[in-house]
Amino acid sequence: MAIIILLVMDLVFLIPAIMTFKQITGDMSGFNSLFDLVGVLFLSAWLLGWSMAPLVMTSILVLLIFGREVVRVGPDFLRITIGLPFVGVTANYDIKSIRNLRTKQPVAKSGKSWRGRHFEFDFGANAIAFGSDVQDEGRAEIESALESAGGKPLRVGEARPDELKVKWEKPPEKPIEAYISEPTVAEPPAGWLSPSALVLILANLVPIAGTVFLGWKLSDVMVIYWAESAVVGFFNLCKIVVIGRWSAVLAGPFFLGHFGGFMVVHFLFLYTIFVQGVNGTDSIGGDLPEVAALFIGLWPALLALLFSHGFSFFINFMGKKEYEGRTVSQQMSEPYGRIIFMHMVLIIGGGLTMILGGSTPVLLGVIALKVFVDIRAHRKQRTNKGRAL
C-alpha cells in the first residue's frame, strides 16, 4: 500500500516536471531577446526546485522496491548489509560476542515496528535487529549457521565485563582546577576597519569611481548591484555545501532554484525600468548582445565585488569557522533579508535620481547609502552570541 501511494504521488509530481522540461527545451531552440532568456532561466529555476520532490520520492520508491537486507556468515563473523544491490551500509559482528539470539515482535508504532516479527541478538550492551516478517522456524537455521561458523553454541546470558569495558570504564579523575576557566568577556561587534569590512568598502568605491570618471549612469549602478546579489547567492550556496555536506545535495538545488527564479525576474524588472527606461526604449526585453556588452563594460566593479565577497567567505566563514552552530535552513534564508532591503534602498534612491534628471550628487548619495547598509549588515553577520568574528 505504501509503494502504491508513493508511486501515485511521484507520478503526480513528475507530470508537471516533464511538461516544463519539454517547454524549456522547445524555447531553447532559439531566442533573441532578454525576455526570452529570462523566461527560459525562470522555468529552469522553477524546474530545479520542483524536481527535488519527485527526486526524493523516486529514491524512496527505489529503496522500497529494490532495497534489501543481506546477512552473511563467515569464519567468526556475522555481516549485515542494508541497501540496494551492490550499494549499501555494512556492519560486522564477532560471532563469539553474539548472545541471546531470538525472535521478537516489536511494539506497535515503535522505531522497529516496520520490521514486524524479526531476529534480534545482544552484542555488548546493544540489541541488534535484522530481518522482517520472520517466523520462529527460521531462527534455528540462522542459529545453526552461526554455531557452525563459530565452532561452538551461541552464548546465552549477560555480557562479560570486558565487553562492556569501553562503555562503563570510569574516566580518570581531574583536579577541580581543571574545570575552572577564565571568564570570557563579550567583545564588541567587528569594527568598520576590519580587513573584510575594508575590502567591502573598497569594492563599493569602484562604482563611485565609475560614476565620476567613466560616466556610469543609474542603470549601470543598478546592474552592478544586481550582479552583487548574484555573487551573494553563489557564496551562500557554497556555505550551504559546507554546513550541510551530503544534505546539500537536496538543499543546494532547492536554494538555487528558488533564489535563481527570484534573480532572473528581478533582473528583467531592473533592465526594463532602469536600462530601457533611461534609454527611452519602448519594447520589453533587450537584444542579448546589448545585455552582454553592458556587463562587459562594468567588469571592474563586478570583479571587485566578487573578490570582496570571496575574501569574506574564506577569511571569516571558513577561516574563523562561522559555520559552526549554523543549520542549513538558517543559511538558506540568510541572504534574502539583506538583498531585499538593499534593493528597496536602491529602487527608492533610483526613483529619486530619475525624477531629478539623473543628478550625479543624488546618484552618489544612493551609492553611499548602499555602502552604509552593506557594512552594517556585514558587521551584524560577523557577530555571533556577542563575540566578534
The pLDDT of residue 57 is above 60: yes
What is the value of pTM for the model shown? Answer: 0.68
Which residues contact residue 381 at a Cβ distance below 8 angstroms, ignoring those fewer than 6 apart?
Answer: 334
Q: What are residue 260's phi and psi, to 5 degrees?
A: -65, -40
* Nearest of 281, 280, 338 to residue 312 by alpha carbon: 338
* Sign of the CA dihedral running 143, 144, 149, 150: positive
**Segment 342-361 mean pLDDT:** 66
291: amino acid identity, one letter: V
* Cell output for 307: 573578490
* Cell output for 64: 522500497
**Segment 149-154 mean pLDDT:** 84
Higher-pLDDT residue of 53, 344: 53
* Nearest of 357, 341, 115, 372 to residue 218 by alpha carbon: 357
pLDDT tens-digit map of 217-253: 877 888 888 898 899 999 999 999 999 888 888 889 9
**Segment 140-154 mean pLDDT:** 85
- Arithmetic mean of pLDDT over the chain: 80
**Segment 293-309 mean pLDDT:** 89
pLDDT for 9 equals: 93
* Cell output for 336: 534574502
pLDDT for 124 equals: 87
pLDDT tens-digit map of 94-136: 988 899 988 888 888 887 888 888 999 999 888 999 988 888 7
Q: Are 85 and 37 in contact (CB under 8 A)?
A: no
* Cell output for 8: 501515485
pLDDT for 81 equals: 92
pLDDT for 185 equals: 46
